[in-house]
């Protein structure tokens, strides 16, 4: 028998780098606090655009292999040792942006049978037995086909794991979506525009370019990762093909060279489970712990 840590967090992401941008501070915080943090990445991002000129020769499988090395370095920066590719390395290919011919590739994640992919993810859930799963909303945060598919697969896998006969199944107590409150995004972009002349980026992105922005009243949970800001920035910097982090580690840009804020407090919307809100100073009646209300305990698995 193997004893699992008392608190267990599983995150589902579409490509290497998504995890560090969305949840880097959260992952680093919980890993440092002794929780088991498990990342499942659905593709290697083989169709991503490459920023550094010296790496632009990388395409297809070669880019995927490189991005896996970047992911390994990012996880080391966050202190996360358990990270996997859904179904194994290379099982599902990057689907490209919505509306591209790449979406029709039979080997891409967008074309995957949801139940098949969810079965593979459910096996991880049954192994890890997470009390918390973090996923995208039904638009994948911003409409990318792999993100939308990751949402479908994650929620189906949670259902499959709960209904599994082997080992009695596992019901995940809390499922969250990645979010950013609109007021926080707007304030951050106001500051960015003031500081833009000091940054290595010529233009600013817009609030609409940030995945998962919603009205503030939908935010149930805020995780203060300020103490782990250097770890998050280091993880993002490890994804050098996809991300450029500005000096000072408050802003970054993707291949479009548009500056965005780097958030170290990370926000979530609880979509399954009961919120346990914190009314203490600065909490804004939100949860300040993804595990709030969860009866944490060591589990034994065969």
C-alpha closest to that of 301 among 133, 149, 108, 125: 125
Q: Is residue 283 part of a domain?
A: no
Residue 239 is assigned to a ligand binding site: no
C-alpha closest to that of 30 among 297, 268, 224, 272: 224
Give residue-wise pLDDT tens across range 9-62.
Answer: 999 999 999 999 999 999 999 999 999 999 999 999 999 999 999 999 999 999
C-alpha closest to that of 265 among 51, 28, 12, 17: 28
pLDDT of 302 over the 60 cut: no
Residue 261 parent element (H or E)? strand 258-261
State the Cα angle at 263 between 182 and 68, rounded to 5°.
120
What is the reported pLDDT for 282?
Answer: 73
Distance from C-alpha of 48 to C-alpha of 17, rounded to nearest angstrom: 11
Residue 18 is assigned to a ligand binding site: yes
Q: How far is CA 217 from CA 221, 224, 253, in A?
A: 11, 18, 28
Q: Is residue 295 part of a domain?
A: no
Q: Is residue 143 part of a domain?
A: yes
Range of the domain at 112: 8-180+214-242+264-272
Q: Is residue 114 part of a domain?
A: yes
Q: Is residue 84 part of a domain?
A: yes
Average pLDDT over residues 239-268: 98
Q: Is residue 196 part of a domain?
A: no
Average pLDDT, the chain: 95
User: How many folded domains does the chain comprise?
Assistant: 1
Distance from C-alpha of 129 to C-alpha of 295, rounded to nearest angstrom: 13
Distance from C-alpha of 235 to C-alpha of 231, rounded to nearest angstrom: 6
Give residue-wise pLDDT tens across range 146-168.
Answer: 999 999 999 999 999 999 877 78
Q: Is residue 56 part of a domain?
A: yes
Q: Is residue 268 part of a domain?
A: yes
Residue 151 is assigned to a ligand binding site: no
């Amino acid at each position: 028998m193997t004893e699992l840590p008392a608190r267990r967090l599983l995150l589902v992401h579409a490509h290497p780098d998504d995890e560090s941008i969305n949840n880097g501070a959260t992952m680093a915080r919980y890993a440092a606090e002794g929780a088991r943090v498990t990342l499942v990445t659905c593709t290697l991002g083989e169709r991503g655009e490459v920023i550094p000129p010296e790496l632009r020769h990388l395409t297809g499988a070669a880019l995927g292999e490189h991005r896996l090395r970047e992911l390994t370095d990012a996880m080391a920066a966050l202190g996360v040792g358990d990270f996997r590719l859904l179904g194994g390395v290379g099982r599902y290919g990057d689907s490209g942006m919505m509306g591209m011919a790449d979406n029709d590739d039979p080997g891409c994640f967008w074309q995957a049978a949801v139940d098949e992919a969810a079965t593979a993810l459910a096996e991880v859930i049954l192994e890890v037995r997470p009390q918390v799963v973090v996923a995208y909303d039904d638009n994948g945060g911003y409409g990318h086909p792999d993100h939308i598919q990751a949402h479908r697969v994650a929620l189906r896998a949670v259902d499959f794991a709960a209904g599994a006969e082997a080992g009695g199944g596992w019901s995940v107590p809390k499922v969250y979506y990645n979010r950013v409150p609109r007021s926080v995004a707007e304030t951050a972009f106001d500051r960015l525009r003031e500081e833009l002349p000091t940054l290595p980026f010529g233009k600013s992105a817009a609030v609409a370019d940030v995945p998962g922005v919603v009205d503030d009243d939908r935010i149930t949970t805020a995780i203060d990762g300020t103490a782990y800001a250097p770890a998050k920035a280091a993880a993002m910097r490890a994804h050098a093909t996809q991300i450029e982090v500005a000096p000072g580690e408050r802003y970054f840009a993707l291949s479009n060279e548009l500056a965005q804020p780097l958030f170290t407090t990370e926000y979530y919307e609880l979509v399954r489970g009961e919120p346990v809100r914190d009314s203490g100073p600065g909490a804004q009646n939100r949860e300040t712990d993804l595990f709030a209300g969860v009866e944490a305990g060591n589990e034994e698995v065969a």
